[in-house]
Amino acid sequence: MDKQIQQLVEMGATVPQACAALHKYKDVMQAAERIFDGEFAHVHDEGEGVRMQPDTSSILTPSRTPHASTPEDVVQDHDMMDDDIEDDVEDYVDYESDFEIQPTAREVDPYAGKLGIFFSKDRREEVIEVEEEAEFVSLPESKEPIKLMTQGEWMKGCPEGNEQSFLFALYDYLCSGSCPCPQRCGFKVPRKKYDFFSLFPEFPSYIEHLQAIIKQSCPTCKIEFCFACGEMVNSANNHPSASSGNASLFHCSNMQGVILGVGLAMLEATFAEQRQQPIGNGNQGPQRSKSNKKRKLHAHSTPTGDDEESDSYYTPFPMGRKAKGGTGYAGDQREDTSGQLEAQAQQRVKDEKIGFMLSQIRVYLPSLRRHGGALTSDYMVHPTALAHLRRRFNYLCSTLLRNDSLTDMSERSVLYFKLFEWLETISNHEALASMMAMPIMVVSSVKSVAPKKAVHSKAIIRERAIIYEGSAGPRELLEAIVIQARAAIKGLEGMKSSDPEEEMTEEQKRMTAKGKGKAKESSPPPNDENEKLLAFCNRILATASAIDRSLRETKGDAFVDRLHASLPKILTSSTFDHISVRTGETEEERKKGYLDWAMQVRFEYCDLTVASPATDPNPSVPHYKFYFNNEARMIANSDFPKRSLAIAKELAVLTTNLPVSWDSSVFLKVDENRVDIIKALIIGPEGTPFLFDIFLGPTYNHTPPSVKYMTTNGGRYRFNPNLYADGKVCLSLLGTWSGPGWISGRSTLLQVLVSIQSMILCDEPYLNEPGWANAGGTPQSKAYSANVRRMVVKTAMLGNLKTPPEPFSDVIRTHYRLKADVIITQLDRWLALDDGRQTTGDSAQTSGRCDATSSSNGFKKDVEEMQSLLRQLKDGTFQY
């Protein structure tokens, strides 16, 4: 009984109502129907947080059982229903509030964000949703049977406030009863489910169907009235939409709600189907059949059994596209890429289809900036429109904006441009604008419940317990792309032409306009890709600026300032206050604080130049504190378009994808004016920082970057068989060792960094020596590691902490301060493991041996000094 009561409470009833209904009807579904009929409206408890509407004449009752319908006699007068809806719209509950809105609250925007939880992503909701047996209908305009949208599909998604009541009300109102003549002459037009909830194969077919039925004529009064709201329609409409026959579809907010709900359901189903369908694999036999079976269920098809996986109904969001396989040196040079062009062509067809649907549906978004002036539905935003936008559009929006490849986005610009138009249109309307800042509720898990039969029919009901969790909102997701776009533009700055633009004559302007801008070549063919990426990046920045500008106009400066404070950021200079980073009291707090800090400082632009020597014959070209200074100065004034494009793509990825963790992280410093000059700090095992200089030369990405290892104690220490004392990095990806090498246009700097991090800076470096891979745990390997530990403490730890290499001084000291306790304990362990031998710079084979506790090899002294400095960092007495 407790479980059934909980289920009814989740549907919107109070505990007393649930108990009374179950006591009388026993069956939970029948009890739910009677509650929705208003039979138990008089049973309530003022102490309950969720209450049914006390007015038995109102159908605006919260419902989480979409299949349950309200009898026709509940709605006798559409005017009364419309009045109720209009009254309740103004009291629409805040989407981030768990509290009922007070009667005095009058918020135009349901996403206003009260109670201090505006940006909270910690919310978690479990919702019981149902999937009913599919219904089909034959319509004259279609040769094939048309599937009808069930109430469960209409109401699917994570509910907020009173959303379910509005969705239930509109669905029931447009599916049953009759639409009377507004003159009350007695003429009525019966409504059927297929009138408004037919899922046509194409959205334009659905619009044509609505245009054919939306205007109803009264044979007695000789007037036309809207079939969706019952109000009289003015035939004399000079709005531009009238010429296309669409004006009647903007007559009322009811039409707005149903068009967006059905249209977005079609869009969501198409998008989900495309994501699950393999690209370029042809006929896959039984495996393909199984995939289709799951996909059909997601796309509102008839369930054929109980063996489908739970994720066939809802597909959790991917957290970005990641490279397949491990973190090896490079891809296989023999990789077959023959199907790549075909796959790209197929992807473009899919993107064009989704983009076209976005364009078609966007016409019906509320917009006060509509060409020709705003229409009725633009001012009267229906609550169901808000619900469907938040539930359905956010699925597509979130999925596309989580793409971590700017290159992939630019190649799919036909789709992303349409997405950006949606974001701008939503942000322009006061009733929708705050959606840009609200967390998106995404599916984290799905659990199926045994199917059951409906109370009054033989239809099979399938229930699922859906758990939704908060995630980043649209504007926050867009900011991650904005960061990549800015980085890419920095990389493309070298391709800009220095030739002054000439003023065009009137004849040239006419020719350009006539040719739609194609009369004049804007750039040579080699720069086409650069221009395409640059245009796409500028479009991203323009979209973000337009959204922020609209939010300032509609929501105010405080709203936008608060939003920006929560967005991810990339520092443009070393201005981060490292001292303010707290270590935390518990291990969990320390790890969280470390990760939060590392995420903010892992990628930084800074000034890497140094003063030019007095003897420099060319002082106009800057010098850099950089191993490859001479090489960088030689190409200071050169322009390599292909190189610029490659660097732009690299920077876009690196800004948001550098690996950071408690155990090992990668930090980059890029010169703010020369993005081909990079310094990397890689935190190896046991929290030890190693410095690398990286130069993206004139033939990059056709050839690999130049990498030099700098933590060598002046060229005396070799910490790894693949890291030489002279700074050479031995890695097949760089062409300095045999094995899979650099692939032009495919390999990346991120691969190089991750390869160094995970393969070279390993726990047992002896095994990296050719022929010694199977010598793990041997005396030779242990001696090698002991020698490396002595070098690490002296140079990588003490040396880097006492005299930190620029520009990583703050990073190194903050790293050690946050991990002081862990490293102090680790040093004690290292001292206990030391074999007492003398430190050698390039070999683990030493002849001398002494007691591990003696100070003859200096290790104990180094350890004690390092521990002392760590304690000073921790208690704040360290002298910077």
Radius of gyration of the chain (CA): 33
Can you give the residue range of the structural domain that contains 59? 1-66
Label each residue of 779-838 as H, E or C. Answer: HHHHHHHHHHHHHHHHHHHHHHHHCCCCCCHHHHHHHHHHCHHHHHHHHHHHHHHCCCCC
pLDDT of residue 102: 33
> Which contacts qualify for 810-814: CB closer than 8 Å, 24 or more apart?
810/574, 810/576, 810/578, 810/601, 811/578, 811/601, 811/667, 811/681, 811/689, 812/681, 812/689, 813/578, 813/873, 813/878, 813/880, 814/578, 814/581, 814/597
3-state secondary structure of 239: coil
pTM attached to this predicted model: 0.73
pLDDT of residue 48: 35
Domain at 595, CATH number: 3.10.110.10
Contact 701, 744 (CB under 8 A): yes
Tell me whether residue 37 is in a domain: yes
Distance CA 481, CA 406 (A): 7
Of 50, 66, 82, which residue constitutes the final position of a domain? 66
CA separation, residue 336 to residues 165, 325, 743 (Å) = 55, 16, 13
Tell me whether residue 523 is in a domain: no
Look at strands 440-453 and 224-226 and give their pairing: unpaired
User: How many domains, the chain?
Assistant: 2
Beta bridge partners of 441: 470
Tell me whether residue 605 is in a domain: yes
Contact 561, 551 (CB under 8 A): no
Contact 94, 390 (CB under 8 A): no
CA separation, residue 670 to residues 214, 289, 357, 647 (Å) = 60, 50, 41, 12
Burial class (CB in 10 A: 0-12, 13-18, 19+), 832: exposed
Only one residue has tokens 């007037």, namely 223
Tell me whether residue 507 is in a domain: no
Please state whether the peptide bond connecting residue 451 to the residue before it is cis, i.e. omega within 30 degrees of 0. no
Eight-class DSSP state of 548:
H
Would you say the C-alpha torsion 149, 153, 159, 162 has a positive or negative sign? positive
pLDDT of residue 456: 56
Distance CA 579, CA 338 (A): 53
Label each residue of 434-477 as H, E or C. Answer: HHHCCCEEEEEEEEEEEEEECCCCCCEEEEEEEEEEEECCHHHH
CA nearest 273: which of 299, 300, 291, 309?
Answer: 299
The residue count for the chain: 880
730 tagged catalytic = yes
pLDDT of residue 28: 67
Distance CA 753, CA 820 (A): 25
Select which of 19, 179, 730, 850 is catalytic.
Answer: 730
Mean pLDDT in order along the chain per 10 residues (880 residues): 66 75 74 68 48 31 32 35 39 34 38 45 84 86 90 88 86 92 92 94 94 92 92 67 65 93 94 70 36 34 36 39 36 51 86 94 92 86 91 90 87 93 93 88 83 61 85 91 91 56 50 43 58 92 93 87 84 66 83 90 91 85 92 86 89 90 92 92 86 94 93 88 88 83 89 86 72 69 87 91 91 91 91 87 49 63 93 84
Beta bridge partners of 129: 464
pLDDT of residue 425: 94
Eight-class DSSP state of 155:
T
pLDDT of residue 720: 82
Distance CA 858, CA 877 (A): 25
For residue 190, give the H/E element and its range.
strand 188-190
Burial class (CB in 10 A: 0-12, 13-18, 19+), 840: middle
pLDDT of residue 840: 83
Beta bridge partners of 180: 188
Of 24, 44, 66, which residue constitutes the final position of a domain? 66
Contact 540, 485 (CB under 8 A): yes
3-state secondary structure of 605: strand
* 158 CB-near residues (< 8 Å, 6+ apart): 125, 127, 391, 441, 466, 468
Tell me whether residue 607 is in a domain: yes
Tell me whether residue 401 is in a domain: no
Distance CA 533, CA 388 (A): 33
3-state secondary structure of 301: coil
Tell me whether residue 684 is in a domain: yes
Distance CA 387, CA 157 (A): 9
Of 66, 83, 112, which residue constitutes the final position of a domain? 66
Tell me whether residue 122 is in a domain: no
Only one residue has tokens 């902490």, namely 801
3-state secondary structure of 741: coil
State the virtual CA torsion across 232, 238, 241, 243 in degrees, nearest 10.
100
pLDDT of residue 16: 80
**How many Cα atoms within 13 Å fall on the side-chain side of residue 554?**
25
Dihedral pair phi/psi, residue 569, rounded to 5°: -135, 150
pLDDT of residue 842: 67
Task: Give alpha helix (H) positions in 528-678.
Answer: 528-555, 557-565, 587-601, 629-634, 641-657
